[in-house]
Amino acid sequence: MDQVNRLLLDALGRDVLTPAMVTGTLEDTLTAWQAEGVPALARREGMEARLGQLKVELVYLTNALAGGAPPASVREAMQARERERADLVAQLGHLDGLTRFTAGVDPRALRDDLGARRADWQGLLERQRTQARQILRKLLVGRLSFEPFEDAAGRGYHIRGQATYGRLLSGAVSVVPPG
């Protein structure tokens, strides 16, 4: 088991926690955030326009109800528009949160922070077994599979698994709302 632990820690240090992998993942994420900005603005404008429409429709429906229109059909129409309005307000709140989040991210500071964290993780993998296991728990998704093989060099195992930086990076980015 000690050999397997060492091989796994070596593989993670060599293949997963490399500067190129961490930086590449960060750059891909920043690019995706920036690409989301323009469509999000267009979606926001469409949602705000629809909210304005709903407000007008709700006034008409309220006036129709006050004017003696059949109550059941008017109430149903009003309820449907109120549900749609609540959904749009929630979506706008989500877009506002994303906007605050991305505006609060300083790419240079994030790159520097991740570089320092990666170096810390790398050092822990090499020196501290207990902390290395904690890093493993955060990095790995699901179970590892061990596939035996034999070749000219001898017997061994292919270790396969999936890793994610998500749980390791918690706290790397924090957004403080203005005010």
The mean pLDDT of the chain is 80
Q: Which residues of 45-75 are buried (b: 16+ CB within 10 A; e: fewer)?
A: eebeeeeeebeebeeebeebbeeeeeeeebe
pLDDT of 179 higher than 50? no
Q: What is the pLDDT of residue 11?
A: 79
| Residue that the structure tokens 């810390």 belong to | 120
Q: Is the pLDDT of residue 171 over 70?
A: no
Q: Report the C-alpha gap between 179 and 172 in whole angstroms.
A: 22
- Cα of 32 vs its chain's centroid, Å: 11
Show me where the domains of the chain are located.
Answer: 2-163
Q: Per-residue pLDDT tens for 129-153?
A: 777 777 778 888 888 888 999 999 9
Cα–Cα dist 171/179, whole Å: 21
Give the count of alpha carbons within 13 A of 28, CB side only: 7
Is the pLDDT at 14 greater than 80, yes or no? yes
Length reported for the chain: 179
On the question of pLDDT at 175 being above 50, the answer is no
Q: Which helix (H) or strand (E) holds 140?
A: strand 140-151
pLDDT of residue 172: 57
- pLDDT value for 149: 92
Average pLDDT over every residue of 88-99? 84
Predicted TM-score of the model (pTM): 0.49
Instruction: Give the model's confidence band at 173: pLDDT under 50 very low, under 70 low, under 90 confident, else very high.
Output: low
- What average pLDDT does the segment 61-72 reach? 86
- pLDDT value for 101: 66
